[in-house]
């Protein structure tokens, strides 16, 4: 499996390290709710609004970051956005005014949101289409290694040395920026020596005009909304179900399942990528929908923690397939001069799917109860797979395999 990742450009390995460092040091966001309520003394209502705004800011920031990355260069946007985000967190370690602190955190969140399209596009610029799944899976693995380790340190800092929570977050951002500045060169996709496919050739006009010429991307983004609405149940409906099944032990069981999720990603991402890398991305995403259907669908009829672990492993395999194939398809079918902007649209569809998945399911739970959720999710997941299969047929891919 490791052999599959040999021979990639040095920059791809640097990005892996950068993501580990960045996500390891992502101290503030996971503890934002606790910080606002326990440390700043804000009400739950005010905290809810702030957290909602922090999440919503990812949409305009991602779209802006994608636009600038296409126009100014990916590396420049990454360095500017990541550095600014880090700088804005430093004053939070010393400020006592909650309004200024919250303003700094929200502004830093905005700049952080502009980073993702730049990174996603740089990886696509550095690799030919048939190797992009390897690049994205390594990047995804780096994210999850950092996410698995970072909260342990963040929890300690939150309780024992709060200022270091912000300084540590900023410091890891600066280290990541330093690595990018020293070891990654700006790649201009318009002059790159990597051959482009017919789908990747330049387009002129507005983003909407470019999208109109890429109906397959539009269809994929619409289907992706359904996938996101299903996936968000792992942090919305699943904790409610665990509370019902395990009662007082529900929160503890949920924490354990999130650890199972993280470990599954870390242990199995390389293997899943190795097994599926010659399959077309759309076919892998069809399989992801079926894994969501089985993994989430079985929750309504199980009562032992072991089976919840099995369920978590199954829907996590679906998560891995989506994370390592969605960006590949978007990059492989985007005009190279619009690549960052096309990738930024995934943040918009992800937000729409998450919002629909939580709001509509909240109403549904009120009407039908938590047990009824999982049969519905099974049906919706199967529908998403059928739609993705239809897109594969429309794209002329069927069950084709990628060139090695």
The predicted structure's pLDDT at residue 34: 77
Quick one: 180 and 238 in the same domain?
no
Quick one: 170 and 310 in the same domain?
no
Would 300 be classed as within a structural domain? Answer: yes
The predicted structure's pLDDT at residue 403: 42
**Cα–Cα distance, 131 to 247 (Å, whole number):** 47
Quick one: 265 and 349 in the same domain?
yes
The predicted structure's pLDDT at residue 402: 47
18: containing domain: 10-185
Residue 232's Cβ-side half-sphere holds a number of Cα atoms within 13 Å equal to: 20
Would 194 be classed as within a structural domain? Answer: no
**pTM above the 0.95 mark?**
no
Would 401 be classed as within a structural domain? Answer: no
Q: Which of 185, 220, 255 is the last residue of a domain?
A: 185
**Cα–Cα distance, 397 to 280 (Å, whole number):** 7
Would 403 be classed as within a structural domain? Answer: no
To the nearest 10°, report the CA torsion of 205, 206, 212, 217.
120
The predicted structure's pLDDT at residue 397: 60
DSSP string spanning 301-319? G--SHHHHHHHHHHHHHHH
The predicted structure's pLDDT at residue 92: 92
Domain count, the chain: 2
Quick one: 133 and 245 in the same domain?
no
Quick one: 220 and 143 in the same domain?
no
Quick one: 167 and 231 in the same domain?
no
DSSP string spanning 245-273? HHGGGHHHHHHHHHHHHHHHHHHHHHHHH
CATH of the domain at 74: 1.20.1250.20
**CA dist 284 to 159, 221, 294, 350, 351, Å?**
42, 16, 16, 19, 22
Quick one: 125 and 33 in the same domain?
yes
Would 197 be classed as within a structural domain? Answer: no
Beta bridge partners of 297: none
Q: Give just the sign of the alpha carbon dihedral 248, 295, 319, 219.
A: negative
Contacts of 289 (CB under 8 A, 6+ apart): 227, 318, 381, 382, 384, 385, 388
Quick one: 144 and 238 in the same domain?
no
Q: Give just the sign of the alpha carbon dihedral 300, 306, 309, 313.
A: negative
Would 199 be classed as within a structural domain? Answer: no
Would 340 be classed as within a structural domain? Answer: yes
Quick one: 146 and 251 in the same domain?
no
Quick one: 237 and 336 in the same domain?
yes
Quick one: 225 and 168 in the same domain?
no
Would 291 be classed as within a structural domain? Answer: yes
Tens of each residue's pLDDT in the chain, 404 residues: 677 788 889 999 999 999 999 988 888 877 787 788 888 888 878 887 888 888 888 889 999 999 999 999 999 999 999 999 999 999 999 988 889 999 999 999 999 999 999 999 999 888 888 889 899 999 999 998 888 888 778 888 888 888 999 999 999 999 999 999 999 988 877 776 676 777 788 888 888 888 888 899 999 999 999 999 999 998 888 988 998 898 888 878 888 888 889 889 989 998 998 889 888 999 999 999 999 999 999 999 999 999 999 999 999 999 999 999 999 999 888 888 888 999 889 888 988 898 888 888 888 998 999 899 999 999 999 999 999 999 999 887 644 444 43
Quick one: 173 and 315 in the same domain?
no
The predicted structure's pLDDT at residue 400: 46
């Amino acid at each position: 499996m490791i052999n599959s990742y040999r021979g990639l450009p040095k920059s791809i390995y640097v990005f892996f390290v950068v993501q580990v460092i960045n996500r390891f040091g992502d101290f503030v966001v996971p503890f934002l709710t606790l910080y606002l309520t326990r440390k700043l003394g804000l009400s739950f209502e005010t905290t809810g609004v702030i957290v909602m705004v922090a999440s919503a800011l990812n949409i305009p920031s991602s779209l802006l970051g994608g636009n600038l990355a296409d126009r100014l260069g990916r590396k420049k946007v990454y360095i500017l956005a990541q550095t600014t985000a880090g700088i804005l967190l430093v004053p939070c370690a010393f400020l006592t005014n909650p309004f200024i602190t919250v303003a700094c955190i929200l502004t830093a969140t905005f700049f952080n949101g502009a980073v993702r399209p730049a990174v996603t596009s740089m990886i696509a610029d550095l690799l030919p289409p048939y190797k992009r799944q390897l690049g994205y899976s390594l990047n995804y693995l780096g994210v999850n290694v950092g996410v698995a380790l970072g909260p342990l340190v963040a929890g300690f800092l939150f309780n024992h040395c709060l200022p270091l929570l912000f300084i540590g977050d900023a410091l890891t951002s600066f280290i990541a920026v330093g690595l990018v500045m020293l070891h990654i060169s700006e790649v201009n996709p318009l002059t790159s020596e990597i051959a482009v496919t017919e789908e990747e050739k330049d387009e002129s006009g507005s983003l909407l005009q470019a999208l109109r010429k890429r109906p397959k991307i539009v269809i994929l983004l619409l289907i992706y909304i359904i996938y996101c609405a299903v996936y968000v149940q792992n942090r919305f409906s699943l904790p409610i179900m665990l509370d019902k099944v395990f009662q007082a032990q529900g929160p503890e069981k949920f924490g354990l399942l999130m650890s199972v999720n993280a470990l599954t990603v870390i242990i199995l991402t390389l293997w899943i990528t190795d097994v599926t890398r010659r399959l077309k991305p759309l076919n892998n995403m069809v399989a992801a929908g079926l894994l969501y259907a089985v993994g989430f669908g079985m929750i309504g009829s199980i009562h032992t923690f072991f089976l919840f672990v099995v369920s978590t492993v199954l829907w996590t395999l679906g998560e891995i397939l989506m994370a390592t194939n969605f960006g590949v398809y978007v990059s492989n079918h985007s005009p190279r001069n619009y690549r960052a902007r096309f990738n930024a649209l995934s943040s918009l569809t992800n937000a729409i799917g998450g919002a629909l998945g939580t709001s509509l399911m909240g109403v549904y739970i009120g009407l039908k109860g938590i047990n009824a959720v999982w049969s519905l999710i099974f049906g919706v997941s199967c529908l998403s797979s059928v739609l993705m299969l239809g897109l594969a047929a429309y794209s002329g891919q069927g069950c084709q395999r990628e060139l090695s």
